[in-house]
Amino acid sequence: MRLSKYFLPTIKENPKEAEIVSHRLMLRAGMIRQASAGIYTWLPLGFKVLKKIENIVRDEQVRAGAIEVLMPTIQSADLWKQSGRYEDYGKEMLRITDRHDREMLYGPTNEELITDTFKNGIKSYRDLPCNLFHIQWKFRDEVRPRFGIMRGREFLMKDAYSFDLTAEEGRKSYNKMFVSYLRTFDRLGLKAIPMAADTGPIGGDMSHEFIILAETGESEVYCHRDLVEFDVPGADLDYDSDLEPIIAKWTAPYAATDEEHDAERFAAEVDEKDRLQARGIEVGHIFFFGSKYSRPLNLSVQDSTGRQVAIESGSYGVGVSRLVGAIIEASHDDNGIIWPKSVSPFDVGLINLKAGDEATDTACENLYNRLTKDNIDVLYDDTNDRAGAKFSNMDLIGLPWQLIVGPRGVKSGEVEVKCRATGARETLSMDDAFNKLISEFH
């Protein structure tokens, strides 16, 4: 992509309305703009990151055996009245009346709708287990939307819903999602810690929040230091094998959010030197609630003995749009964002230090074409801006590698390669620079 043909409205000054670094940097890097309180337009650069995160989340759901669907954003109130949540959800639910005076709502979550959908599709216990997920916009009329897309009113969520014949089978489905979350957040370059959590309006008696440690996090969390260093299962993991040992390892050390924290237990179970008390960002939340929705919505099947049983369910959320902010909170410096390779909007930023100079233009065009042909996604700054402005803009938007091409270097056949994370710069021949970047991404 040539910058001259792109839409990247970056901002030099710090926007006053932004209280935390991720919000500031997302506005400055031209990733989002507020449309109204807690509601954002995703500009091209932000949208690319959002899509990359979405794809990794999807990939790991499918790997764990979940099947993708797409449910609507607008739902009828009927099912919510049946489950009792139409009243319980209170003001956070955006209620809408259509032209026929039918009560509708913008979905804050989808337990009711998926339970009903599954009920109409299942024929017998042989159709179990099943886990259906979708990645869809949600609306919650938060009292205090803040921190940009971190606590928005409209936000993108991955929500999965499992259906099983018995609580024991249900636990296995829960475990699959637990492990798939460990892998998902690891691929996003994050260290996420599963913590015992409160179930709130979703309900149930087993629940874990996945927390990224960050000073600007909204929750106070407490855990054993070891959890920060645990290894995550590899891509070759067989999800149909016994996952209990992995769950046991990750849930043995103390880890709890504020609502579930027990100071006495923390002191008794964790040595003082290993106690970690920090702020955290909740990027995922999983629940097992048994038959809380299947009973009122009449989702049951005959088991192999002919007995009619209510289906056991859980739901599993990932804050896809919140993750964009969480990744920035975890990875930035004074100059801007530092994207992990897996979610960076482009792979390489190519800087032409003297656009209009024939030899420099030719060298840049050459590198741009070669890299693009090899599937490296390049953002080529071919504008007439000053070199200083180009450097700071490229640092701000945080692409992992920069390729800097100026007239002096071109004369001797050399370019500079800069690593955004370390700031290290290397002068290389054009071919060596090309080969280095290829090897970084393939």
Closest to ligand 5CA by CB, 186 vs 395, is: 186
Which backbone phi and psi does 350 adopt, to 5 degrees?
-100, 120
Question: Measured at CB, which residue is nearest to ligand 5CA?
Answer: 319
Q: Which is nearer to ligand 5CA, 180 or 315 (CB)?
A: 315
- Nearest-approach distance from CB 227 to ligand 5CA, in angstroms: 18
How far CA 24 is from CA of 113, 146, 295, 326, 361, in Å, comes to: 37, 12, 46, 13, 33
3-state secondary structure of 425: strand
403 vs 381: CA distance, rounded Å = 10
CA quadruple 167, 172, 173, 179: dihedral sign: positive
Name which of 181 and 434 has its Cβ closer to ligand 5CA.
181
Pick 202 or 310: Cβ nearer ligand 5CA: 202
Q: Which two tokens stand for residue 217?
A: 């996090």
CB of 360 to ligand 5CA, least distance (A): 44
Residues that bind ligand 5CA (CB under 6 A): 109, 111, 140, 142, 151-152, 155, 157, 159, 202, 282-285, 287, 315-317, 319, 321-322
Q: How far is the CB of 207 from ligand 5CA (least distance, A)?
A: 9
**Shortest Cβ distance from residue 253 to ligand 5CA (Å)?**
21
| Contact assessment for residue 393 and residue 381, using Cβ atoms and an 8 Å cutoff | yes
DSSP alpha helices (H): ranges in 152-243?
167-187
Cβ pair 48, 347 in contact under 8 A? no
Residue closer to ligand 5CA, measured from CB, 79 or 403:
79
Query: To the nearest whole angstrom, how small is the minimum distance from the Cβ of residue 147 to ligand 5CA?
Result: 9
Residue 338's H or E segment, with its range, is: none
Shortest separation between residue 434's beta carbon and ligand 5CA, angstroms: 40
Nearer to ligand 5CA, 43 or 177 (CB): 177
Q: What angle do CA 6, 7, 10 make, to 5 degrees?
A: 120
H or E element, residue 311 = none
